[in-house]
């Protein structure tokens, strides 16, 4: 059955491997994926553990619905204590790895210790082998996947790998699978590197039994129709996430020049339509690709049109690549976006953090805090495509200023000194998406409070931007838990938004436990499936009976464990806060000109948000909250 | 004339939903190994090709089967294997030029596409239309139209380029 996949404990120091079943009681508490990973993280690390030391734990998992008929059940979750932030490390990727891990018999991997020399894991049909990876060390993301498939003689092997950035312990190195799918955030690639783990290879032919196959098929069909009939997903299926960047840029909701401005002018060449044009020119009319079982197919295939990388194949780019390699560094070339996207895909760097930190350095250079002496003569000015590409390389291989930036923003600011930290746009040490939330308090609250730091995929109430009539908003946000507090259709408002953020947090935690993609839930579209549908999909596929409220409670439980972990690592209320620019400088361009966040109102929002969570005024979960969720005795070491 | 699977690999997004629904429909499990259709991928070039039994009129599997377990169902235009007669010699697997027949080693039987008795699930779930279920004659018409469109489109481009130059 779908619930018989195991958990494996792998000690890379001793080579000991142990596989265990996952008890049904634990499943009911955490489901799988991110939820169970959070439990494992809290239980298998000690306070103050060195993120790059052998005692940090590396967790790799599939969702409980991974590889089943749940539409886009493709996700893989990777967790540990973050080498970048020192708080929660948690990242999620699409592709085909998660389902393959399940076909190979496993749902969760708990990796500890450090191998003496580079190794990779070979997981196949219930077996796990630690194999030598010395000959793969130094290889790019793409090359190592080809090489391991060749070594093991099977083209259908799926891999989660690191590139040179992870090997060099760049604190925002990612873990990738396939061409472009990446668990990018919070530096999980450095965690792989610190354990001398180059890759995890999975291949399996073990059946996942579907408990109610006819119902599962029919429900999946309905689910897919619901998902692909929404306009937003149809646009995603044509232009991918770049369409969001394009739309947001038009009203001034993106960041440029390291958040000095909020709109990229002369953006014709980097608009989504232009990127789509290049994909069509280089790959033909049908140039979109999809993750496992997904009918949204949101990523474009492309070949680089010109320059030294001309003709090279890759996938993406996403919204984030436009922000990282056009908006923030003030560049204006689609070719540059495609080249930089390809570079981070080969080196294994988080696209978001990379673009942010280089743009930050560009502002420091503009302000004279960094000079030509610091950059070894590189003219690190805004708008320089060459400097951008060169810095990606220097960060990966830790050369010169790149070595400092590879340490992440906060550590780099300490080294660079002066008032460099003032210009760093981060929350909890994690850079924010290249969006400007000064005109949208709901979105601003989300990034200030996100459990892994500034991030749009933890709680963003994106539908808040659509000015939906209040009754529609209320319908969405009153299930499965009734909400009769205030709500506002106006995105500029502060009122009622903390509930939206709280609700979205649990919604996204929910999909991350199930292993489904966020485009298949209430993220970009108000009519997409959530708790109600998940309850049915879960039952038809696995036989597990969980009400919508049960799933909501699982999400709440997991989110509180994330909070407990962060608090144990030193997080306080002041970490749920925004960089000063949000409050002190207003938007300069577009229809949102003049907008900024009001400190006092924002403080009240945080209070209200804590209240919804059942946390005290310092953001600490109240004893009765932990008791209600059954986590007052953690760590309980059930697994 | 019966309907056939028409595959337009250029439209395939490589998501492999067809593999999932095929194995669930036939076996009640998700297992790409038990799917009668497979997406063969050249991932590093972005090329994905759905492969399944072609339901040949003059089927090599039928010709070679030593116990006559393979027969043609003219009604649905498909080639079927009678598992009661099948001795598991895998000769059909060996001679099939498309990899259309597969030996399921767990259940010790030959599995292959049976067009889901006239309602192919792969077609039903493939929203991009990379796999369609159409009358056999129609395939040629569709192909001719696509080729003509491409060809005439190119001619038009050339003509307008010439017009621009002159």
Tell me the per-residue pLDDT of A591-639, one tens digit each, with 9 for 90 and over.
999 999 999 999 999 999 999 999 999 999 999 999 999 999 999 999 9
- Report the b/e string of A562-587 with b at 16+ CB within 10 A: bbbbbbbbebebebbbbbebbbeebb
Strand, coil or helix: A338: helix
H helix intervals, A427-518: 441-449, 470-477, 497-514
Tell me, yes or no, if B97 comes closer than 8 A to chain A by beta carbon. no
- Please provide residue A197's backbone torsions phi and psi, each rounded to the nearest 5 degrees: -100, 110
Residues of chain B neighbouring A146 (CB-CB closer than 8 A): 44
- Strands of A152-229 (E only): list them: 158-161, 175-177, 181-183, 197-203, 208-209
Q: In whole angstroms, what is the distance from residue B79 CA to residue B92 CA?
A: 11
Handedness of CA A48, A633, A17, A145 (dihedral sign): negative
Determine how β-strand B70-73 pairs with β-strand B78-81.
antiparallel
Tell me the per-residue pLDDT of A258-282, one tens digit each, with 9 for 90 and over.
999 999 999 999 999 999 999 999 9
Q: Is the distance from CB of A70 to CB of A47 less than 8 angstroms?
A: no
* A67, HSE (Cβ side, Cα atoms, 13 Å): 33
Tell me, yes or no, if B20 comes closer than 8 A to chain A by beta carbon. yes
Residues of chain A neighbouring B17 (CB-CB closer than 8 A): 293-295
Q: Is the distance from CB of A182 to CB of A93 less than 8 angstroms?
A: yes
Residue of chain B whose Cα is closest to the Cα of A283: B46
Tell me the per-residue pLDDT of A203-262, one tens digit each, with 9 for 90 and over.
999 999 999 999 999 999 999 999 999 899 999 999 999 999 999 999 999 999 999 999
Question: Domain coordinates of chain A in residue numbers?
Answer: 6-203, 230-423, 441-628
Q: Across the interface, do B24 and A210 touch by the CB < 8 Å criterion?
A: yes
Tell me the per-residue pLDDT of A294-304, one tens digit each, with 9 for 90 and over.
999 999 999 99
Tell me, yes or no, if A484 comes closer than 8 A to chain B by beta carbon. no
Structure confidence at residue B165 as a pLDDT band (50, 70, 90): confident
Q: In whole angstroms, what is the distance from residue A603 CA to residue A65 CA?
A: 38
Closest-CA distance of chain A to residue B161, Å: 17
Tell me, yes or no, if A150 comes closer than 8 A to chain B by beta carbon. no
Q: List Cα–Cα distances, B9 to A370, A450, B41, B56, in angstroms.
A: 52, 42, 11, 19
* % of chain A exceeding 70 in pLDDT: 100
Residues of chain A neighbouring B48 (CB-CB closer than 8 A): 289
Peptide bond into B25 cis (omega under 30): no
Q: Across the interface, do B27 and A228 touch by the CB < 8 Å criterion?
A: no
Closest-CA distance of chain A to residue B74, Å: 28
Of A120, A168, A89, whose CA–CA distance to A406 is shortest? A168
Tell me, yes or no, if B81 comes closer than 8 A to chain A by beta carbon. no
Q: Across the interface, do A217 and B21 touch by the CB < 8 Å criterion?
A: yes
Closest-CA distance of chain A to residue B59, Å: 28
Q: Across the interface, do A290 and B15 touch by the CB < 8 Å criterion?
A: yes
Residue whose entry in the numeric block shows the structure tokens 């599939």: A62
Q: Kindly report the average pLDDT of chain A as a whole number.
A: 97
Closest-CA distance of chain A to residue B8, Å: 10
Q: List Cα–Cα distances, A216 to A71, B13, B36, in angstroms.
A: 11, 23, 19
Residue of chain A whose Cα is closest to the Cα of B42: A155
Structure confidence at residue B100 as a pLDDT band (50, 70, 90): very high
Which secondary-structure segment (H or E) carries A231?
helix A231-239
Residues of chain B neighbouring A208 (CB-CB closer than 8 A): 29-31
Q: Which residues, at least 6 apart from A141, have a Cβ–Cβ distance to it below 8 Å? A: A161, A162, A163, A176, A345, A346, A347, A348
**What class does CATH assign to A6-203?**
alpha beta
The answer, yes or no, to whether residue A1 has pLDDT greater than 80, is: no
The answer, yes or no, to whether residue A501 has pLDDT greater than 80, is: yes
Q: List Cα–Cα distances, A538 to A119, A212, A478, B23, B97, in angstroms.
A: 36, 10, 21, 19, 40
Question: A279 is written with which tokens?
Answer: 């994909």
Q: How confident is the model at residue B1, as a pLDDT?
A: 65
Residues of chain A neighbouring B127 (CB-CB closer than 8 A): 224, 228, 295
- Please provide residue B50's backbone torsions phi and psi, each rounded to the nearest 5 degrees: -70, 130
Tell me, yes or no, if B133 comes closer than 8 A to chain A by beta carbon. no
Structure confidence at residue B142 as a pLDDT band (50, 70, 90): confident
Q: In whole angstroms, what is the distance from residue A23 CA to residue A31 CA?
A: 11
Residues of chain A neighbouring B24 (CB-CB closer than 8 A): 69, 210, 213, 216-217
Structure confidence at residue A455 as a pLDDT band (50, 70, 90): very high
Tell me, yes or no, if B138 comes closer than 8 A to chain A by beta carbon. no
Q: Which residues, at least 6 apart from B161, have a Cβ–Cβ distance to it below 8 Å? A: none
Question: A117 is written with which tokens?
Answer: 């020399």
Q: Across the interface, do B127 and A315 touch by the CB < 8 Å criterion?
A: no
Q: Which residues, at least 6 apart from A218, have a Cβ–Cβ distance to it below 8 Å? A: none
**Residue contacts between A and B (CB atoms, under 8 Å):** 90
Q: Is the distance from CB of B56 to CB of B97 less than 8 angstroms?
A: no
Q: Across the interface, do A155 and B21 touch by the CB < 8 Å criterion?
A: no
Tell me, yes or no, if A181 comes closer than 8 A to chain B by beta carbon. no
Q: Across the interface, do A221 and B127 touch by the CB < 8 Å criterion?
A: no
- Three-state SS string over A524-571 comes to CCCCCCCHHHHHHHHHHHHCCCCCHHHHHHHHHHHHHHHHHHHHHCCC
Tell me the per-residue pLDDT of B36-95, one tens digit each, with 9 for 90 and over.
999 999 999 999 999 999 999 999 999 999 999 999 999 999 999 999 999 999 999 999
Structure confidence at residue A356 as a pLDDT band (50, 70, 90): very high
The answer, yes or no, to whether residue A2 has pLDDT greater than 80, is: no
Residue of chain A whose Cα is closest to the Cα of B45: A313
The answer, yes or no, to whether residue B154 has pLDDT greater than 90, is: no
Residue whose entry in the numeric block shows the structure tokens 């503009």: A366
Q: In whole angstroms, what is the distance from residue A91 CA to residue A594 CA?
A: 34
Select from B15, B32, B44 the Cβ nearest to the Cβ of A146. Answer: B44
Q: Across the interface, do B10 and A179 touch by the CB < 8 Å criterion?
A: no
Q: How confident is the model at residue A349, as a pLDDT?
A: 98
Q: Is the distance from CB of A265 to CB of A328 less than 8 angstroms?
A: no
Mutate to test the interface with A, among B9, B13, B35 (most CBs of A within 10 A): B13
Tell me the average pLDDT across A345-364. 98
DSSP string, B147-161: HHHHHHHHHHHHHHH
Q: In whole angstroms, what is the distance from residue A554 CA to residue A65 CA?
A: 15
Tell me, yes or no, if B164 comes closer than 8 A to chain A by beta carbon. no
Peptide bond into B21 cis (omega under 30): no
Closest-CA distance of chain A to residue B111, Å: 15
Q: Across the interface, do A209 and B28 touch by the CB < 8 Å criterion?
A: yes
Q: In whole angstroms, what is the distance from residue A12 CA to residue A408 CA?
A: 27
Instruction: Tell which A residues from 14 to 33 touch B, by Cβ distance under 8 Å.
Output: none
Select from B14, B32, B125 the Cβ nearest to the Cβ of A289. Answer: B14
Tell me the per-residue pLDDT of B21-49, one tens digit each, with 9 for 90 and over.
999 999 999 999 999 999 999 999 999 99
Q: In whole angstroms, what is the distance from residue A84 CA to residue A77 CA?
A: 17
Rounded to 10 deg, the angle between the A409-416 and A351-366 helix axes is 20
Q: In whole angstroms, what is the distance from residue A227 CA to residue A236 CA?
A: 11
Q: How confident is the model at residue A517, as a pLDDT?
A: 96
Q: Other C-beta atoms within 10 Å of A196: how many?
A: 20
Q: Is the distance from CB of A497 to CB of A557 less than 8 angstroms?
A: no
Tell me the per-residue pLDDT of A133-187, one tens digit each, with 9 for 90 and over.
999 999 999 999 999 999 999 999 999 999 999 999 999 999 999 999 999 999 9
Q: In whole angstroms, what is the distance from residue A312 CA to residue A123 CA?
A: 31
> With left for phi above 0 and alpha for psi between -120 and 50, is residue B100 left, alpha or beta?
alpha
Tell me, yes or no, if A205 comes closer than 8 A to chain B by beta carbon. yes
Q: List Cα–Cα distances, A350 to A164, A562, B25, in angstroms.
A: 12, 22, 39
Lowest-confidence range among A69-73, A123-127, A157-161? A69-73
Select from B12, B17, B41 the Cβ nearest to the Cβ of A293. Answer: B17
The answer, yes or no, to whether residue A386 has pLDDT greater than 80, is: yes
Percentages helix, strand, coil for chain A (3-state, rounded to 5) are 45, 15, 45
Residues of chain A neighbouring B30 (CB-CB closer than 8 A): 67-69, 207-208, 210
- Report the b/e string of A535-550 with b at 16+ CB within 10 A: bbbbbbbbebebebeb
> With left for phi above 0 and alpha for psi between -120 and 50, is residue B52 left, alpha or beta?
beta
Q: In whole angstroms, what is the distance from residue A125 CA to residue A639 CA?
A: 22
Instruction: Tell which A residues from 96 to 115 touch B, by Cβ distance under 8 Å.
Output: 96, 103
Mutate to test the interface with A, among B43, B45, B111, B121 (most CBs of A within 10 A): B43
Q: Which residues, at least 6 apart from A425, have a Cβ–Cβ distance to it below 8 Å? A: A255, A258, A259, A356, A360, A431, A432, A454, A579, A581
Residue of chain B whose Cα is closest to the Cα of A217: B21
H helix intervals, A348-440: 351-366, 385-396, 401-405, 409-416
Question: A356 is written with which tokens?
Answer: 């942010």
DSSP B59: -
CATH (one of 1.10.569.10, 3.40.50.1220, 1.10.10.60, 3.90.1150.10) for A230-423: 1.10.569.10
In Å, how far from its chain's centre is CA A318? 13
Residues of chain A neighbouring B10 (CB-CB closer than 8 A): 284-286
Q: In whole angstroms, what is the distance from residue A401 CA to residue A379 CA?
A: 12
Tell me the average pLDDT across A475-479. 96
Closest-CA distance of chain A to residue B156, Å: 17
Q: List Cα–Cα distances, A67 to A343, A422, A623, in angstroms.
A: 30, 45, 37
Question: A608 is written with which tokens?
Answer: 């209200």
Q: List Cα–Cα distances, B108 to A115, B87, B114, in angstroms.
A: 41, 9, 18
Mutate to test the interface with A, among B24, B34, B154 (most CBs of A within 10 A): B24
Select from B17, B44, B48 the Cβ nearest to the Cβ of A295. Answer: B17
The answer, yes or no, to whether residue B146 has pLDDT greater than 90, is: no
Q: Kindly report the average pLDDT of chain B as a whole number.
A: 94
Q: Across the interface, do B24 and A292 touch by the CB < 8 Å criterion?
A: no
CATH (one of 1.10.760.10, 1.10.260.40, 1.10.599.10, 3.40.50.720) for A441-628: 1.10.599.10
Q: List Cα–Cα distances, A402 to A164, A562, B153, in angstroms.
A: 14, 31, 49
Q: Across the interface, do B10 and A284 touch by the CB < 8 Å criterion?
A: yes
Residues of chain A neighbouring B45 (CB-CB closer than 8 A): 313
The separation between the first and the last C-alpha atoms of chain B, rounded to the nearest angstrom, is 52
């Amino acid at each position: 059955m779908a619930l018989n996949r195991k958990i494996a404990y792998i000690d890379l120091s001793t080579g000991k491997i142990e596989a265990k079943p996952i008890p049904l009681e634990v499943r009911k508490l955490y489901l799988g994926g991110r939820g169970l990973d959070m439990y494992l993280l809290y239980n298998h690390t000690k306070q103050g553990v060195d993120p790059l030391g052998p005692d940090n734990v590396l967790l790799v998992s599939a969702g409980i619905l991974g590889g089943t008929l749940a539409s886009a059940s493709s996700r893989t979750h990777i967790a540990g204590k973050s080498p970048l932030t020192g708080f929660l490390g948690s990242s999620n990727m699409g592709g085909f790895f998660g389902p393959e891990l399940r076909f190979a018999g496993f749902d969760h991997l708990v990796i500890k210790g450090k191998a003496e020399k580079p190794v990779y894991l070979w997981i196949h049909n219930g077996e796990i082998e630690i194999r030598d990876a010395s000959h793969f060390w130094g290889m790019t993301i793409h090359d190592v996947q080809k090489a391991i498939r060749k070594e093991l003689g099977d083209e259908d092997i799926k891999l989660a790998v690191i590139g040179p950035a992870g090997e060099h312990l760049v604190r925002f190195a990612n873990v990738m699978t396939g061409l472009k799918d990446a668990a990018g955030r919070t530096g999980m690639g450095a965690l792989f590197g610190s354990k001398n783990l180059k890759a995890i290879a999975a291949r399996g032919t073990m059946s996942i039994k579907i408990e109610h196959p006819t119902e599962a098929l029919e429900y999946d069909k309905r689910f897919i129709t619901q998902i692909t009939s929404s306009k937003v997903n149809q646009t995603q299926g044509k232009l991918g996430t770049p369409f969001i960047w394009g739309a947001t840029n038009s009203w001034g909701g993106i960041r440029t020049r390291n958040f000095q401005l909020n709109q990229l002018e002369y953006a014709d060449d980097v608009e989504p339509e232009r990127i789509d044009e290049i994909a069509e020119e280089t790959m033909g009319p049908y140039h979109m690709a999809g993750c496992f079982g997904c009918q949204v197919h949101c990523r474009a295939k492309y070949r680089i049109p010109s320059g030294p990388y001309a003709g090279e194949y890759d996938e993406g780019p996403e919204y984030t690549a436009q922000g990282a390699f056009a908006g923030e560094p003030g560049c204006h070339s689609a070719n540059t976006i495609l080249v930089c996207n390809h570079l981070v895909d080969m080196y294994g760097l988080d696209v978001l953090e990379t673009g942010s930190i280089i743009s930050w350095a560009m502002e420091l250079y503009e302000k004279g805090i960094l000079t030509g002496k610091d950059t070894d003569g590189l003219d690190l000015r805004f708008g320089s495509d060459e400097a951008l590409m060169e810095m990606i390389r220097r960060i990966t291989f830790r050369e010169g200023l790149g070595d400092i930036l590879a340490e992440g923003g906060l550590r780099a600011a300490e080294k660079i000194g002066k008032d460099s930290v003032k210009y760093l746009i981060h929350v909890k040490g994690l850079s924010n998406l290249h969006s400007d939330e000064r005109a949208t308090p709901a979105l601003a609250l989300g990034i200030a409070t996100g459990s892994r730091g500034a991030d749009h995929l933890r709680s963003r109430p994106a539908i808040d931007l659509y000015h939906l009539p209040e009754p529609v908003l209320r319908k969405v946000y009153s299930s499965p838990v009734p909400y009769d507090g205030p709500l506002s259709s106006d995105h500029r408002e502060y009122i009622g938004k903390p509930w939206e953020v709280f609700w979205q947090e649990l919604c996204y935690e929910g999909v991350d436990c199930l292993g489904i993609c966020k485009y298949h839930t209430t993220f970009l579209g108000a009519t997409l499936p959530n708790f109600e549908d998940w309850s049915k999909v879960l039952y038809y596929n696995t036989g597990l009976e969980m009400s919508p409220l049960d799933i909501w409670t699982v999400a709440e439980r997991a989110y509180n464990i994330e909070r407990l972990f962060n608090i144990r690592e030193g997080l306080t209320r002041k970490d749920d806060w925004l960089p000063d620019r949000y409050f002190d400088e207003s938007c300069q361009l577009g229809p949102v000109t003049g907008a900024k966040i009001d400190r006092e109102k924002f403080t009240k929002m945080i209070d209200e948000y804590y209240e919804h969570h059942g946390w005290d005024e310092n953001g600490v979960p109240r004893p009765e909250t932990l008791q209600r969720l059954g986590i007052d005795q953690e760590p309980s070491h059930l697994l | 004339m019966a309907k056939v699977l028409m595959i337009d690999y250029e439209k395939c997004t490589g998501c492999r939903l067809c593999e999932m629904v095929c194995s669930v429909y036939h076996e009640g499990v998700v297992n790409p190994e038990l799917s009668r259709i497979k997406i063969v991928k050249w991932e590093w070039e972005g090329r994905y090709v759905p492969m399944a039994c072609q339901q040949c009129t003059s089927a090599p599997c039928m010709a070679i089967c030593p116990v006559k377990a393979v027969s043609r169902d003219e009604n649905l235009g498909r080639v079927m294997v009678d598992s009661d007669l099948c001795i598991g010699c895998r000769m059909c697997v060996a001679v099939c030029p498309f990899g259309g027949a597969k030996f399921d080693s767990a259940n010790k039987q030959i599995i292959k596409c049976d067009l889901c008795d006239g309602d192919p699930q792969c077609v039903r779930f493939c929203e991009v239309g990379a796999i369609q279920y159409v009358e056999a004659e129609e395939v040629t018409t569709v192909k001719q139209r696509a080729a003509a469109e491409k060809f005439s489109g190119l001619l038009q481009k050339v003509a307008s380029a010439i017009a621009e130059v002159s």
